[in-house]
Structure 1
Amino acid sequence: MARMTWTFTPEHVHTPDAVALRRGYYDDVASRYWKRPATEAEIDEGLAGDGVERLTPPTGQFLVARHEGEPAGCGGVLLLDAERAELTRVFLRHAFRGLGGAAGLMRNLEDAARALGARRMVLNTRLDLVEARAVYTRHGYAEIPAYCTGPYMDIWYGKEL
């Protein structure tokens, strides 16, 4: 059997693939939070003014993960200060989970943070996003004190790069 290939490339957040993946991410996390499918209007509202324009050098980076050339996931890093980057919008479409993409995406996001000068990665997430939390801990992230606050933040993680 041929080996399935993954690629992870920097991409502007407004390309069609990046927009579709960002919408998929928001749909997934919002639908889980509300315990019902998010509407298109709710997704539009959630993405409006969400600060993704900062996910480009020198303040950040956005990556698109492709499996066999098909857009399968995304993630971003945002510099918080001279030494810390925040991991954000990490997402793999459900059809691509379990195929090794999460590990590659995490490695590439950490490399992107290092390239921006970060020495530590931090993130916040919700307790109900158990798959995401499992990925983070599997890749060496440990619980840390809260470094920010917000309505959708239950737990914070960090890792030295």
Structure 2
Amino acid sequence: MTNWIVTPETWAATSELNHDYYVDIIGRYWGRGDVAEEVAQYQRDEEDSDVPVFLVVSKDGEQAGCLGMRFLGDGIGELTRMFVRKRFRGQGAASALLKAIEAEALKLGVIALRLDVRDDLVEARNLYAKHGFAEIENYNDAKYAGHWFEKRLTSAHSAAMS
């Protein structure tokens, strides 16, 4: 059992993990590793910095992954930027992030979490299903999304995670 430490980071857009997330997700989309220009273009075009909750998971002092949440209104939080560096995958880092973000969401009055996932990210869809997220109808106009998920949160659920 790995002891993961999950901590908040103040600014998602400047995080090295955030950059690594874009390199990974864009590289997987294009099927190649050399995506520096696409990442730079995306960051210029999107200016996607609306992630007020950004958690980082670490092991032995090394940052392993991240997960962000923005607020959609009406008690709905949207997860974004789920990322675990390759050498830490399959060791529970993503599960630690999900548990921590759910606890944080409840503290902030969020009653449900939503997210969208691309078709090719099968392992991500499996992870969310394993953690109680159910596939729902499209709730946004995300250009690359092919699947949408939601999980209702309860304080009893939070107590069970402790």
Normalising by the residue count of structure 1, what TM-score does the alignment of the two structures yield? 0.87
Matched, 1:96 2:88: yes
CA contact (8 A) 1:6 1:66 kept: yes
The alignment partner of 2:26 has SS state of: helix
CA contact (8 A) 1:143 1:158 kept: yes
Q: 116, 129, 149: which one pairs with 1:137? A: 129
Identity across the alignment (%) = 38
CA contact (8 A) 2:12 2:51 kept: no
Matched, 1:51 2:48: yes
In structure 2, the residue matched to 1:39 is 35
Structure 1 vs Structure 2 CA RMSD: 1.6
Q: After TM superposition, what 4+ stretches of structure 1 lie above 4 angstroms from structure 2?
A: none
Distance 1:141 1:14, change over 3 A: closer
Q: 12, 15, 20: which one pairs with 2:16? A: 20
CA contact (8 A) 2:2 2:92 kept: no
Structure 2 gap ranges (5+): 154-162
The alignment partner of 1:80 has SS state of: strand
- Aligned equivalents of 2:12 and 2:146: distance in 1? 29
CA offset digits 1:79-136 (Å, max 9, x no partner): 1003100011001001001111111110011112212211000000111011111110
Write the letter of the residue equivalent to 1:158: E
- Give the number of aligned pairs: 152
CA contact (8 A) 2:4 2:93 kept: yes
In structure 1, the residue matched to 2:114 is 122
Structure 1 gap ranges (5+): none
- Aligned equivalents of 2:41 and 2:11: distance in 1? 16
The alignment partner of 2:2 has SS state of: coil
Distance 1:38 1:46, change over 3 A: farther
In structure 1, the residue matched to 2:97 is 105
Q: Which has the larger displacement, 65-74 or 31-40?
A: 31-40
